[in-house]
Amino acid sequence: MHAPDISPVLISLGPLQVRWYALMYVVGFILAGYLLKNLIKKNFLKITEEQIDSLTFIMGLCMVLGARFIYVFVYNWSYYQHNLGEVFAVWKGGLSFHGAVLGFLVAGFIFAKKNKVEWGQIMDSVCLVGAPGIFFGRLGNFINGELYGRITTSPVGMIFKTGGPYPRHPSQLYEAFFEGLVLSLILWFAVNKVKKYWQISSFFLIGYGAFRFGVEFFREADAQLGYYFGFMTMGQILCAIMIIAGFALYAMANKLNQKIYN
């Protein structure tokens, strides 16, 4: 079965192009704004609706910077050290989700300090509204025909135009389902159960780390990095760190005891 041959460009008006991948990000941020309003009404997030635009702007900016930083210096420094002029050429592709998480942390800290709110409630809220966005981001990867999986003989295998003549796992769709839909359902179910800030963030780190670690067994490793220890990808190493950090964060949440509803 061939993967759908969809042009990554949705609309082209002369030199101006609107790409599917960019559209997916826009949809994700619009949905995030709607969900943030819902969290404010639930008294989970204690900011005003007027502050949502400020929050989403700084989150978006730091997300891109963090995602690019980790991709350049962790995933592909062997290339960029000889092509420093392309370090900021984000439009050519090359973003790391793990770097985006670091960007979110920095953005949340800055916003919390500036607006005198708990850092934990900002990060928990970002995790809740950001998880659904992962679904759209992975759909964008699928449309672009990038980040495809390893060669397979299973019936779900798809032939990607840039992936050679053999069927491969549509790992972008696996990630959209588990990291996007399933993780979102878990977090939004948990939000009605937790009593302390940072707990949702810890669930996000553990959940995303576990799902991504598993899917990496079906996803093609980065060509410039290959495998570590004979079987692990860089993504799995970073996910293992996320999982450990998630459990540590849960213990810290219990120690800080920052009550959500008080």
Residue appearing with tokens 């009605």 = 192
For residue range 181-238, list pLDDT tens digits in order: 999 999 999 998 999 999 999 999 999 999 999 999 999 988 778 888 888 999 999 9
Q: Which two tokens stand for residue 240?
A: 């293992």
- At 15 the three-state DSSP class reads coil
| Best-predicted range by mean pLDDT (63-72, 91-100, 222-231) | 63-72
- Mean pLDDT, the chain, rounded, equals 90
User: Which residues share a beta bridge with 219?
Assistant: 149
Say if CB 119 and CB 108 are below 8 A apart: yes
Domain residue spans in the chain?
A: 9-256
Burial of 161 (0-12, 13-18, 19+ CB in 10 A): exposed
Say what the pTM is: 0.90
Supply the pLDDT for residue 126: 95
How far is it, in rounded angstroms, from Cα 33 to Cα 27? 10
Say if CB 52 and CB 33 are below 8 A apart: yes
| Residue 13: pLDDT over 80 | no
Average confidence (pLDDT) over 141-145: 89
Q: How many residues does the chain have?
A: 262
